[in-house]
């Protein structure tokens, strides 16, 4: 299956103050769609765990030409662009079903980690996966290396609580993305939309850890910001967020 699709209707209960899909929901939709495709081609969690390995999302870039807005039907397509021993690139496209127009693109890089050694596992043994390679490239910049933020202009602290913890006893991706979004005021999101988002996942945070989320303008830009979530001075996530005036 070289293309996996999922169609959905965006309800009022799922949108934010700007009547759009929140960034954290967009990221979890992308991850859940990857999971759906992996299950469909036989490289899902259950199969992987039988080899003692598990998927880990390492890097994600999203380009948003137009936000997903309430009371519309969308389709998300995903495909595997390539894989090598260490990494697999997976792309996504979100289509406004009414107009047929593609409005969001995403690129992700995944690894498979040995659950015991925590070392990367060889992906080329997953033959179902090599058979499913589509090859269609990502149409935008996949994004470069994200660096720790050292010149922060904003800082917030937050202690991870029960509601932030997932089935693996790690902090959810949703909480990471919400911590990033919550660096800015509601006014900023009323006046601007997020047009691009990049994130690199560095370390899993755990229950009751105290996090520090810091941000700074990227190379002095008023519209692009670097963000870092850290626990005990070790980065958990590095991100870059691009705003565009509405």
Binding residues for a second copy, per CB under 8 A? 11-13, 15-17, 19, 22, 24, 28, 31-32, 35, 45, 70, 161-163, 165-167, 169, 178, 181-182, 184-186, 189, 207-208
Find the shortest distance in angstroms from Cβ 162 to a second copy.
Answer: 5
Nearer to a second copy, 87 or 184 (CB): 184
* Shortest distance (Å) from residue 18 CB to a second copy: 9
Tokens representing 8 are 């959905």
Query: What is the nearest approach in angstroms of a second copy to the Cβ of residue 80?
Result: 20
Tokens representing residue 130 in the block: 């090599």
- Judged by beta carbon, residue 31 or residue 133, the one nearer a second copy is 31
Shortest Å distance, C-beta 123 to a second copy: 21
* Longest CA span, the chain: 50
Reduce the DSSP state of residue 237 to 3 states and report it. strand
Query: Could you give the angle at which helices 23-40 and 173-181 cross, rounded to 10 degrees?
Result: 160
Q: For residues 36 and 28, is the Cβ–Cβ distance under 8 A?
A: no
What tokens appear for 104 in the block? 């969001």
185 or 245, CB closer to a second copy?
Answer: 185
For residue 98, what are its two tokens?
């009414």
Angle among Cα 242, 156, 200 to the nearest 5 degrees reads 45
Nearer to a second copy, 90 or 138 (CB): 90
């Amino acid at each position: 299956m070289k293309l996996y699709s999922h169609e959905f209707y965006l309800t009022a209960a799922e949108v934010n103050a700007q009547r759009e899909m929140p960034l954290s929901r967009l990221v979890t939709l992308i991850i859940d769609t990857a999971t759906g495709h992996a299950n469909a081609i036989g490289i899902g969690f259950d199969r992987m765990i039988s080899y003692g390995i598990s998927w880990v999302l390492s890097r994600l870039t999203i380009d948003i030409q137009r936000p997903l807005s309430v009371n519309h039907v969308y389709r998300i397509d995903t495909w595997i662009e390539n894989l090598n021993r260490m990494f697999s690139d997976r792309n996504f496209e979100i289509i406004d079903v009414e107009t047929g127009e593609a409005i969001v693109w995403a690129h992700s890089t995944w690894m498979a980690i040995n659950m015991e050694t925590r070392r990367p596992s060889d992906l080329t043994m997953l033959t179902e996966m090599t058979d499913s390679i589509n090859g269609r490239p990502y149409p935008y910049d996949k994004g470069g290396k994200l660096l720790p933020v050292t010149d922060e202009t904003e800082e917030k602290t937050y202690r991870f609580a029960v509601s932030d913890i997932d089935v693996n006893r790690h902090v959810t991706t949703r909480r990471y993305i919400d911590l990033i979004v919550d660096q800015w005021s509601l006014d900023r999101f009323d006046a601007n939309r997020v047009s691009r988002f990049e994130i690199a996942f560095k370390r899993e945070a755990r229950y009751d850890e105290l996090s520090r989320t810091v941000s700074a303008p990227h190379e002095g830009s008023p519209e692009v910001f670097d963000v870092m979530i850290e626990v005990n001075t070790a980065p958990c996530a590095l991100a870059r967020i691009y705003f565009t005036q509405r």
